Amino acid sequence: MHSQLPKVLHRVAGRPMIDYALDTARALHPRRIALVIGHEADRVAGAIDARDVVLVRQDPPRGTGDAVKHALAELPRDGVTLVMIGDAPLVRREDLSAIVDAATQGALAILTARVPDPHGLGRVVREASGDIRAIVEEKDCDADQRAIDEINSGMIAAPTDKLARWVEALRDDNAQREYLLTDIVDMAVAQGVRVTSRCVADERDVRGINDRGQLVTLERILQRRRADALLVSGTWIADPDRIDIRGTLACGRDVRIDVSCVFEGEVVLDDEVEIGAHCVLRNTRVGKGTVIAPFTHCDEAIVGADCRIGPYARLRPGAALANEVHIGNFVEVKASTIGERSKANHLAYLGDATVGADVNVGAGTITCNYDGANKHRTVIEDGVFIGSDTQLVAPVTVGRNATLGAGTTLTRNAPADSLTISRAPQRSVAGWKRPVKGKA
């Protein structure tokens, strides 16, 4: 990967690729999961949810067979062992379950795939009966074997007692000086153990990641699958190849999503929500009928029904908007609640504020919530009208139905039902001349 980050911590759809393998393993309800770690082991261990995982260190790394040998030392010797790989995030639970079922019947079961270009991959060589006779690495293939398009995915299942004996017998007399798990196929055949397989329906499910190009390719495969699932369920997506879901996205009926939107964490869009182009939503819930205009960012926000947000708006953590709120272009809201039907349509900052219902916030208004050391809260009660270019120096309260004149700097509470204004007196200087540049 040409990176300081361990490969399995590189992200696919917003999550480290190893998380997908662990989630799939957990979905099979195993008695125990052993994760073999080597390069940057401490960093990997610290980045995963290891509550139900036994961490096994392989140092130095000496091949897949050696990795399995280390893992078996931590696993019960009865039952079946499933071997997965950490860099194939798209493998499906049902395919792994199928090879586990075969291993339960005493077979060595291998997950395979048919690929359009098997170059560089181990070929699956079969008997006339269809059972597997060998897995042959490309460098060892003859002409007929090179023509085989079925490849080994690297994932197998076997009775644990048999698997333990086979990996103990592995030898490293190969060019890599490694203990290769594929060598157990020859042992199983020699001992009369049936070697069977499950061939995946979509070869992309077992693709691994070894460089950034493959990482990007699998990212797009996964994103397209997520987009297709949303389309099938009724969500309108302008271009399913230009959407990124880096977490979970739940959509109600008749949701519309324009191009190049990014959804991170847990995002919920209720019925009839419209998301404009180039929006980013993270850990946000949006109520029914709300329209979010292009280039809007929402981070850990709650947006009510029938709101109008953006374009170029920013809802930061703690923003909670009631129904029918308008937040317009270049307006930022942070740690603030905004009451029903209130509006801040242009160029405003509302931070650490409690805003009531039916409030109008004029362009250029800011809450001055930070004194350089501490944050302070601004309270704006129902029905307030705030003129443009107003500064509210917290802590301060604006009473119900009050009006603040344009250009006011409010440093004391404004009484309800009153006009509060602070401006320097306007004056004109007759005969004043604008300065001009002197001659050089």
| Span 37-47, pLDDT tens digits | 998 999 999 99
Is residue 370 a contact partner of residue 395, using CB atoms and an 8 Å limit? no
CATH no. for residue 154? 3.90.550.10
pLDDT tens-digit map of 367-419: 999 999 999 999 999 999 999 999 999 999 999 999 999 999 999 999 999 99
Cα→Cα distances 115→84, 140, 295, 351, Å: 19, 19, 40, 55
Q: Is residue 434 part of a domain?
A: no
Task: Examine the pLDDT at 177 and tell me if it is beyond 90.
Answer: no
Residues 249 and 393 both lie in one domain: yes
Does the pLDDT of residue 440 top 80, yes or no?
no
- End-to-end CA, the chain: 62
Question: Is the pTM value of this prediction over 0.75?
Answer: yes
Domain shared by 202 and 219, yes or no: no
Q: Is residue 242 one of the residues assigned to a domain?
A: yes
Query: Does 235 lie in the same domain as 194?
Result: no
> Is residue 352 assigned to a domain?
yes
Per-residue pLDDT, 321:
98
- Considering the domain architecture, whether residues 156 and 238 belong to the same structural domain is answered as no
pLDDT of residue 50: 85
Do 54 and 159 lie in one domain? The reply is yes
State whether 102 and 123 are in the same domain.
yes
- Pairing label, strands 261-269, 243-251: parallel
Residue 421 carries which side chain, given as an amino acid letter? Answer: I
* CB distance 384 to 402 below 8 Å: yes
Both 375 and 240 in one domain: the answer is yes
Question: What is the SS3 assignment for 23?
Answer: helix
- Fill in the DSSP letter of residue 9: G
Q: Is residue 432 included in any domain, yes or no?
A: no
Say if residue 249 is in the same domain as residue 378.
yes
pLDDT tens digits along 274-331: 999 999 999 999 999 999 999 999 999 999 999 999 999 999 999 999 999 999 999 9
Q: CB under 8 Å to 212, separation ≥6 — which residues? A: 1, 2
Residue 174: pLDDT above 80?
no
> Is 219 found in the same domain as 95?
no
Domain count of the chain? 2
When pLDDT is cut at 50, 70 and 90, the band that residue 438 belongs to is: confident
List pLDDT tens digits, range 198-247. Answer: 999 999 999 999 999 999 999 999 999 999 999 999 999 999 999 999 99
Q: Are residues 285 and 158 in the same domain?
A: no
Average pLDDT over every residue of 122-149: 91
Amino acid, single-letter form, for residue 96: L
pLDDT tens digits for range 179-202: 999 999 999 999 999 999 999 999
Alpha-carbon distance of 194 to 189, in angstroms, equals 7
Domain end point (choices 206, 240, 275)? 206
119 annotated active-site? no
Residue 439 lies in a domain: no
Mean pLDDT, residues 48-58: 92
Instruction: Identify the band that residue 31 occupies on the pLDDT scale cut at 50, 70 and 90.
Output: very high
Q: What count of Cα atoms within 13 Å lies in the side-chain half-sphere of residue 327?
A: 39
The bridge status of strand 11-12 relative to strand 15-16 is antiparallel
Query: Does 369 reside within a domain?
Result: yes
Query: Among the three residues 206, 240, 269, which one is the final residue of a domain in this structure?
Result: 206
Supply the CATH number for residue 373's domain: 2.160.10.10
DSSP-derived letter for residue 203 is G
Q: What is the pLDDT of residues 75-119, one digit of tens each?
A: 999 999 999 999 999 999 999 999 999 999 999 999 999 999 998
Q: What is the pLDDT of residue 424?
A: 87
Same domain? For 52 and 154 the reply is yes
Model confidence at 51: pLDDT above 90: no
* Set 2, 297, 326, 346: catalytic member: 346
Instruction: Give the pLDDT of residue 346.
Output: 96
Range of the domain at 271: 212-420
Same domain, residue pair 42 and 127? yes
One DSSP character per residue, 166-192 reads HHHT----STT----GGGHHHHHHHTT
Residue 433 lies in a domain: no
Classify burial at 237, counting beta carbons within 10 Å of its beta carbon; exposed 0-12, middle 13-18, buried 19 or more.
buried
Q: Given 158, 174, 206, which residue is the final one in a domain?
A: 206
Q: Is residue 430 part of a domain?
A: no
Residue 18 pLDDT > 90: yes
